[in-house]
Amino acid sequence: MEFLNSLFTWIMKKRIHQIELFMKYPHDVQEEWFQNLISSAEATEWGKKYDYKSIFTLADYKNRVPISDYDDIKGYIDRMIKGEQNLLWPSDIKWFAKSSGTTSDRSKFIPVSMEALEECHFQGGKDMLSIYCSNRPDTKLFTGKSVVIGGSSQINNFSPDSYYGDLSSILIRNLPFWAEFKRTPNIEVTLNPNFEEKIEQIAQITIKEDVTSLAGVPTWNIVMAKRILEITGKNNLLEVWPNLEFYGHGGVSFRPYKEQFKQLIPSDNMYFLENYNASEGYFGLQDRSDSEDLLLMLDYGIYYEFLPTERLEEEHPDTLSLDEVEVGKNYALIISTNAGLWRYKIGDTIKFTSLSPYRFQISGRTKQYINTFGEEVIVDNAEQALSKACQDTGARIKDYTAGPIYFRKNEVGAHEWIIEFEKQPADFQHFCEVLDNTLREINSDYDAKRFKDMALAFPVIHNAPADTFYNWMKSKGKLGGQNKVPRLANSREYLDPLLAMMKNG
């Protein structure tokens, strides 16, 4: 095992030089990928429609090809699902990542080409390990096994040759042999569509293994960890897996879960690394242990454009290229990819913290926000406010969601929160006050609406019973995989069902 650990570590470290190259020459790398993507898709139906053969510059591209969302390309995707090819991308596409539905209950099926699997998603996974091995040269990661909680995957009914599932399940289905060799449990258990049964199986199997790393969405890893501690009677995961040293996480912000993981894994040597891997592509990695910022990965077959959020409602908004962005401003991500997404608006917003190299933070969703009263509260605001409230009251949050209380006849509006705590605050009222005050400090629009309760009253905050969100997600058939609780909504589409469930016990 020591030899294999040394071999794998050496292989992973070799990639660091290439990462340093795109950090040093970001614009050249992006220009090269832009030209590569356009020339690759010239003969596709989409490429012919927009005459890709005559596109030579970014200006040509922006003038000719409109920004799109899922509804704009759904017709193409429906045809690909039924077996048609060479529509958006030249190579055969047989895999479709089913969206987690964080902003809509409607299922979306994102095409995943073999190029996207190899050059983007798998490369991102390997780079995560490369960065870790570079930052931890004495790692023993490869002496043990990794636990990954995946979703489920099944044959698409439209065609025997097209498949769909959570992105995690697609990746697991197509993993190279060496990655499968270091993973536990087996693929049948990992992709069991019955989430509760799967958690029980994973717990029973992995307690007998030498696990050195974890990967996946924090929410579901905590569910697994608690079951393992129940079975074993241990106090923390290090008593079960003494060689555990690494957790690669993504899918949701880690802030609300950080303290819980410190309790589950009480070691200063535990390394947490965030990755930004969505159905549409792998975009960023946390390359430094002392910063939560993510490095924008520029050589994964993705060309990036950035749309200032204040232009989101414009009919034909002008996007910025990488060399035009500024630190601290919110941008909606617009991507063109080696899976045939062209100027596609994925719905996430980011803000850059550094331009040399390009590092950023995920600031929210274009459709996951509260702006009923002009307050423009985004997920990043909520996370900061909750983090401060937890810090001041000793609380730990398990899950939360928030939305508006609309104006009534003689009353102003407000925000309504449902928060489920892992550890209750020492003073719940003080928690609520810190949450409100912090939002006022970091969001001037929210503060203006809260001034003398002119437009927004003090928020209504519910202390939800244990397992409220788990049971709600279960009732929607959204346990496990990349499914996650919607954090903010500009409507009451999540609040009202949750409150009704809480009332009915």
**pLDDT, position 223:** 85
**123/247 same-domain check:** yes
Residue 224: inside a domain = yes
**139/280 same-domain check:** yes
Cα 394 to Cα 258: distance, rounded to the nearest angstrom: 13
Residue 166: inside a domain = yes
Residue 322: inside a domain = no
Sheet holding 145-148: strands in order across? 183-184, 145-148, 211-216, 246-249, 271-278, 281-285, 294-296, 358-365, 344-355, 330-337, 302-308
Residue 69: inside a domain = no
Residues 6+ apart with CB under 8 A from 480: 149, 151, 152, 166, 195, 198, 199, 220
The pair of structure tokens assigned to 267 is: 């070691």
Q: What angle do helix axes 122-135 and 16-24 make, rounded to 10 degrees?
A: 100
Cα 502 to Cα 427: distance, rounded to the nearest angstrom: 22
**pLDDT, position 380:** 84
Distances in Å between the alpha carbon of 470 and those of 222, 474, 477? 12, 6, 11
**pLDDT, position 101:** 38
Per the structure, the count of domains in the chain is 2
**152/259 same-domain check:** yes
**255/378 same-domain check:** no
Domain that holds residue 479: 369-503
* The residue type at 153: S
Q: Is the pTM of this model over 0.85?
A: no
CATH number at residue 444: 3.30.300
Q: What angle do helix axes 122-135 and 2-13 make, rounded to 10 degrees?
A: 110
**279/387 same-domain check:** no
Residue 82: inside a domain = no
What is the pLDDT tens value at each position of the chain, 505 positions in all?
Answer: 676 667 667 777 788 999 999 999 999 999 999 999 999 999 999 999 999 999 999 999 999 999 999 989 999 999 999 899 999 999 999 999 987 433 333 578 999 999 999 999 999 999 999 999 999 999 999 999 999 887 666 556 667 788 888 888 889 888 877 777 789 998 889 888 888 899 999 999 999 999 999 998 887 888 899 899 999 999 999 999 999 999 999 877 787 678 889 999 999 999 999 999 999 999 999 999 899 999 999 999 999 999 999 898 888 899 999 999 999 999 999 999 999 999 999 988 999 999 999 999 998 777 778 888 878 788 889 999 999 999 999 999 999 999 999 877 667 889 999 999 999 999 999 999 999 999 999 988 899 889 888 789 999 999 999 999 999 999 988 887 677 888 999 889 899 999 999 988 7
Residue 110: inside a domain = no
Residue 292: inside a domain = no
Residue 59 CB coordination number (10 Å): 9
CATH number at residue 206: 3.40.50
Domain end point (choices 285, 318, 340): 285
Give the 3-state secondary structure of 203-234.
Answer: HHHHCCCCEEEEEECHHHHHHHHHHHHHHHCC
Cα 303 to Cα 342: distance, rounded to the nearest angstrom: 9
Residue 125: inside a domain = yes
**pLDDT, position 302:** 98
**pLDDT, position 477:** 84
Cα 466 to Cα 91: distance, rounded to the nearest angstrom: 48
**231/126 same-domain check:** yes
**pLDDT, position 194:** 83
